[in-house]
Amino acid sequence: MDILTEHKDYAKGLRSWRTARCLYYGGETIKQNAEVYLTRRQKEPVEVYRERLAASYYENYIGSIIDWYLAALFRREPVILSEGGEESARAFLAEFVENCDRRSTSVAEFFRSVLRDAILFGRTHVIIDFPRIDQTLTTRADEREVGADKAYLVMCAPEQVTNWQYDEVGNLAKVAIRTSIAGGAAGESVNSNGSHRVYEYDKHIVRIHEVVETEDGKRTSRIVSESQNCLSRLSRVPVVRFDLPHGLWLMERGGNVQLEHYNKANALSWALSMGLYATPVVYSDREWNQITGDSYFIQLSPEDRFGWTEPEGKVYQIAADNLERLKAEIFRVCHLSYQSGWSGTSTKQSGLSKQRDFQVTQEVLRAYGDWIKGALKSVLKTIMDAREETLRVDVSGMDQFDIGEFSTELADAERLLSMNIGSKTLQKQVHKKLALQFLSDMRQDVKDKIAFEIENA
């Protein structure tokens, strides 16, 4: 794989990634790129188009929808359970859950960003790495002493993953990730002098290339360093790609509708603004060459007539109705019809109908929760395998999204336990689930202690 060559699908994705960012962030981001997304009318004068660009605005529904899903899903953090293993492994896990990227970001907050990017771009990449130590370590005790066994995660913007290859079973075999030498923000990959770094990963080696691009467009690279990657013992690339199912990729489902709403809303806004300035009409048989305006006057012959023209407003009502329909469509394709505030008819939606719509939304939230739990469990298992730990890790929770549901679940648990099924394991598991769900915002070491005490009661 040539690190200077981009994957054939990379160029196709750049435009859609930029569009997804603009539609999600809105505000100044889409204002600065209005020329890309605000359609210019056929033969529209440049001066008029520039004025429309300056007056453009954006009603950000898709961004609010995505933020609502993230807030609803992570209202209660995922519950991480561990069994077996050494005390040092449990201590590492508790510390990792509270700080998974060496920047004091919790696992829940980190994977919230992972899901956000997956909803925006359809996929996301996470790098698993360990601190690089410039000395030879022969035992696990040496690794723990210098902190070489403290894994951490790095999330990559899609623009940074420039090339990749898969093996025969569909796992990543090679991947190239571009970053700025100064370590810029996500999506920022090249310095002002045209130099950047490319991290080339395969199943055993990681190579860091420094790439310099000259003014004539030629690029040269040199290897800065080469070493074994942190998963070389597992013969795996330390980059995990998570693909979101198309049905859950909200930006793909609602992005084009949001762009259509953006253009229609600005067209209506411009028409209304122009309608505020009535156009003078002169009825005359003679040649008309007088200048009209606020500071001018006109002279008419006795048989001439003067008046004003203004739109009747029928097309404005049609446009306004169309905007409401587009807004409702954005919410519908994102499984939030009951939040759109528009049903298409004058009949109000019943409480039972709203409840059924919300049940659909809950199923979508549970699908997101299952996706996050699978991704988190996969990362934690990989880290434990890299550390050669016997600790078994499981992830649960993220399946209750109504504030009042815990009382219902508690009542269900009481009824289940009152049946006296005769299984101590069942009792312990029910007690653990209820306790950890109720205390989901506690520190991981406290939750581990509670689970241990319940298990050994």
Find the mean pLDDT for residues 229-234: 92
48, 68, 45, 66: which is closest to 56 by C-alpha? 48
328-385 confidence digits (pLDDT tens): 999 999 988 777 765 554 445 554 555 566 788 889 999 999 999 999 999 999 999 9
pLDDT at residue 169 greater than cutoff 50: yes
8-state DSSP, 122: S
Mean pLDDT computed over 438-444 = 68
Read off the pLDDT of each residue in 218-224 and give the average, rounded to a whole number: 88
> Can you tell me the distance from the alpha carbon of 202 to that of 166, in angstroms, rounded to the nearest whole number?
10
pLDDT-derived band at 127 (thresholds 50, 70, 90) equals very high
Please report the beta strands in 144-194, taking only residues with DSSP state E, as ranges in sequence order: 152-156, 161-166, 172-179
Alpha helices (H) along 154-284: 250-275
How far is it, in rounded angstroms, from Cα 101 to Cα 109? 11
Helix or strand run (H / E) with residue 307: strand 305-309
DSSP state of 76: S
pLDDT band at 121 (very low <50, low <70, confident <90, very high): very high
- C-alpha distance from residue 402 to each of 64, 71, 120, 372 (Å): 19, 12, 25, 19
What is the average per-residue pLDDT within 261-270?
Answer: 94
Judged by DSSP in three states, 224 sits in strand
User: Strand, helix or coil at 219?
Assistant: strand
CA trace torsion 240, 245, 250, 254 (10° rounding): 130
Residue 402's pLDDT band (boundaries 50, 70, 90)? low
Q: From CA 57, how far away is CA 385, in angstroms rounded? A: 51
Please tell me whether the overall predicted TM-score, pTM, comes out greater than 0.85 for this model.
no
How would DSSP label each residue in 234-248?
A: GT--SEEEEEPPGGG
Q: How far is CA 206 from the centre of its chain?
A: 28
Greater confidence (63 vs 218) lies with 63
pLDDT the model gives residue 241: 94
Q: Answer for the pair 391, 84: CB distance below 8 angstroms, yes or no.
A: yes
pLDDT at 176: 95
**Which of 135, 123, 381, 340 is closest to 248 using CA atoms?**
123
**β-bridge mates for residue 101, sequence order:** none
What pLDDT score was predicted for residue 405?
A: 57
Task: Give the C-alpha separation, 360 to 362, whole Å.
Answer: 5
Helix, coil or strand: residue 71: helix
Average pLDDT over residues 94-109: 93
pLDDT of 189 reads: 46
Q: Flag the least confident range among 38-47, 103-112, 232-241, 350-359.
A: 350-359
pLDDT at 193: 55
Number of other residues whose CB lies within 10 A of the CB of residue 124: 25
pLDDT, position 184: 41
pLDDT interval class at 187 (50, 70, 90): very low
- Is pLDDT of 183 > 60? no
**Residue in the block written with tokens 């040199």:** 222
The answer to whether the CB of 158 falls within 8 A of the CB of 16 is no
* pLDDT for res 152: 95
How many Cβ atoms are within 10 Å of 151's Cβ, its own excluded? 22
Note the pLDDT of residue 440: 65
| Tokens standing for residue 1 | 């794989």
User: Mean pLDDT across the stretch 30-50?
Assistant: 93
Res. 97: pLDDT tops 90: yes
- At residue 326, the 3 state secondary structure works out as helix
Tell me the average pLDDT across 61-89: 90
Under 8 Å between Cβ of 105 and 136: no
Give which of 186, 96, 141 is closest to 381, Cα–Cα.
96
In angstroms, rounded to a whole number, what is the distance separating the alpha carbons of residues 394 and 377?
A: 6
Average pLDDT over residues 10-39: 93
Distance in angstroms (rounded) separating the CA atoms of residues 351 and 35:
43
Question: In the predicted model, what is the mean pLDDT of residues 214-238?
Answer: 89
Confidence of residue 190 (pLDDT cuts 50, 70, 90): very low
pLDDT of 438 > 80? The answer is no
What average pLDDT does the structure give for the chain? 84
Percentage of the chain beyond pLDDT 90 is 49
On the question of pLDDT at 403 being above 70, the answer is no
Q: Is residue 201 packed enough to be buried (19+ CB in 10 Å), middle (13-18) or exposed (0-12)? A: buried
Binned at pLDDT 50, 70 and 90, residue 185 comes out as very low
pLDDT at 137: 65
- Of 17-26, 341-350, 403-412, the range with the lowest mean pLDDT is 341-350
Long-range contacts formed by 150-154: CB under 8 A, 24+ apart: 150/92, 150/95, 150/96, 151/96, 151/230, 151/383, 151/386, 151/387, 152/100, 152/101, 152/102, 153/100, 153/101, 153/110, 153/126, 153/127, 153/128, 153/129, 153/379, 154/101, 154/126, 154/127, 154/129
β-strand partners of 195: 212
